[in-house]
Amino acid sequence: MAKKLFGTDGVRGKANRYPMTAELALRLGAAAGRHFRKNSSHTHRVVIGKDTRLSGYMFENALTAGFASTGMDVFLLGPVPTPAVGMLTNSMRADVGVMISASHNPHEDNGIKFFGPDGFKLSDEAEAEIERLVHEGVEPVQAENIGRAKRIDDGRFRYIERVKATLPPGQKLEGMKVVIDCANGAAYRTAPEVLWELEAEVIPVGVSPDGFNINAGCGSTDTRLAAETVVAHGADVGICLDGDADRVMIIDENGRVADGDQIMALLAARWAATGRLRGGALVATVMSNLGLERYLGERGLRLERTAVGDRYVVERMRAGGFNLGGEQSGHIVMTDYATTGDGLLAALQFLSAMVETGRRASELSRSFETVPQLLKNVRYDPEKEPLSAESVRRAIAEAEARLEGRGRLLIRKSGTEPLVRVMAECEDEALLVSVVDDLVEVIGRAAA
């Protein structure tokens, strides 16, 4: 069955427009409740977290109604990072976990992500089954078996203690001045609290959510505010999370930004040196820079590439027994500690490296020289298939021929937005720009 609701990271779209409507959220909850109730015999329960979008209230209530109608007890976490939902789904013995978030997208978008009882995101097969049940219709339980719902207050604190415990015993951040940008999102309380409890001097930004300002001029997708704050305050380092805190960007003391590739390079080399890197490999997506692959190869390590999406990274990690992976966009997955990307946890690993080595952020965040890379997006009408156009296929073939032996080309549709992403890498920057711009023009015409 071809998936229609689920993309690369759950169901996502504009709030109050299909598929992100209250009605569909109720049906998703009911369908997921049916799917997971049949797989267990204990008391059925679901944990639900959300970020700070205004529409989160609507979807939280709709999902609660759907799950309760199938006999599942609902535990509402309130605003918490996405990785907290994965952790608490498992530790609270829930059948399923749900995160209501559109991650790095603007406030008018929202999404629904599901976690299985093991705390990992669902497989394509499980999502397809839930989608089938959505179309089949709600199957409510008897009135006496309707589930209950209640808010729990300690979920955030349980997550805080788990994250702090990933540092070496007794290690603190005393004397370190840290800017933390929470994108006015899910970690607006959690991240500053963790850093303060570890004795850092904390300078918070993006910690005043109002339902509309999530990811607006802040966070991992817009690091300018945090970079300016680092320089203005003479901070040692800056941490930029996205709206649901599963991504991170690091800013050095000079205001320069390090992406996920640089963070993974540092962690892979450190873990390999101490025998912690399982399988001698790092798992990353096709978007990761060629410079990262070369850096790992020089150290006898491999880069295992997957399709774009942290769920595919995690699937490869679990299948191959690897424990470190992620995306250039800042999803860093460390399965020794978490079941999904965790921006705060990755940031703590970076700060720990600063403490242990005594080196500045600028020294640790530039492990390799990047190969020039250019990414441009082309928005298209969802009713059209621009990549199927003959003119586009011909232009792609010509672009690949121009880059042969000198770089690589990657063209794909976004799994979360109606965008065609055109990315190329090449040492010859003039050729790089020419190839990408020519393709964007052709695809744009086909998408119009």
Tens-level pLDDT at each residue, the chain (448 residues): 445 799 878 999 999 999 999 999 999 999 999 999 865 556 799 999 999 999 999 999 999 999 999 999 999 999 999 999 999 999 999 999 999 999 999 999 999 999 999 999 998 899 999 999 999 887 889 999 999 999 998 999 999 999 999 999 999 999 999 999 999 999 999 999 999 999 999 999 999 999 999 999 999 999 999 999 999 999 999 999 999 999 999 999 999 999 999 999 999 999 999 999 999 999 999 999 999 999 999 999 999 999 988 889 999 999 999 999 999 999 999 999 999 999 999 999 999 999 999 999 999 999 999 999 999 999 998 888 999 999 999 999 999 999 988 889 999 988 777 899 999 999 999 999 999 999 999 999 998 8
Report phi then psi at 396, rounded to 5.
Answer: -65, -45
Q: Can you name the residues that pair with 50 across neighbouring β-strands?
A: 79, 100
Q: What is the pTM of this model?
A: 0.91
Angstrom distances, CA of residue 231 to CA of 179, 225, 238: 10, 10, 10
Which residues are designated catalytic?
A: 103
Q: Please give the domain boundaries of the chain with CATH numbers for all domains.
A: 11-153 (3.40.120.10), 163-168+175-242 (3.40.120.10), 260-364 (3.40.120.10), 373-447 (3.30.310.50)
DSSP H/E element including 377: strand 373-379
Dihedral in degrees, nearest 10, Cα atoms 85, 91, 95, 97: 0
- Looking up tokens 């209530």, which residue turns up? 61
